[in-house]
Amino acid sequence: MKKIILMVAACAAMVACNNGKTTANNESSDTTAADTVAADSAIYEGMTPAADVYGIKYRVALAQDSTNGFSLSEAYMKSETEIDTASNYNGKYEIVKKDVNGKSNTYYQFALGADDKATFLVLNDSTLRMVNSDFEEAVAKEGMNYDLKLQK
């Protein structure tokens, strides 16, 4: 598990230096780069339900400065531990303020390519919840949710 976390952190560091280009996962033993990403970012992780695979594991690192930089990894899982395919994205996230059902909410939007965005509702200081493009929350099956929890 430590090796996977280190690999994801190293990939996030390499993606952050790639000026918004999508890359494949690369293994790296550069722990200095991984430590820098972890020290300068708020990291959220979680697995969401999926129709054709076990689930989709997300890892989002948000820069803790005014740049609004992000690094997002998305892994389609064959099982709880086996990855089918993975993609990494980085760039600047957008903060959206929107009234939904009479309540003012804050959302983070991440560009995942030319025509694709991932949108997360900021529930509180430690939880982001994935929503659809209309800012609606999905109905989760029992035991599953669309939340990413703050790791660091």
Q: What is the pLDDT of residue 51?
A: 85
102 pLDDT more than 90: no
Q: 0.75 cut: is pTM over it?
A: no
Stretch 14-42: mean pLDDT, rounded? 44
When pLDDT is cut at 50, 70 and 90, the band that residue 114 belongs to is confident
Q: What is the pLDDT of residue 39?
A: 53
Q: What is the pLDDT of residue 31?
A: 34
Count the Cβ atoms, other than its own, within 10 Å of residue 30. 13
What is the rounded CA–CA span in Å between residue 20 and residue 111? 9
Q: What is the pLDDT of residue 64?
A: 87
Count the Cβ atoms, other than its own, within 10 Å of residue 113. 9
When pLDDT is cut at 50, 70 and 90, the band that residue 70 belongs to is very high
Nearest residue to 3 via CA among 31, 32, 24, 40: 31
Bigger pLDDT: 29 or 110?
110
How far are the Cα atoms of 11, 20, 30, 75, 105 from residue 84, in angstroms, in the given order?
A: 17, 23, 25, 7, 34
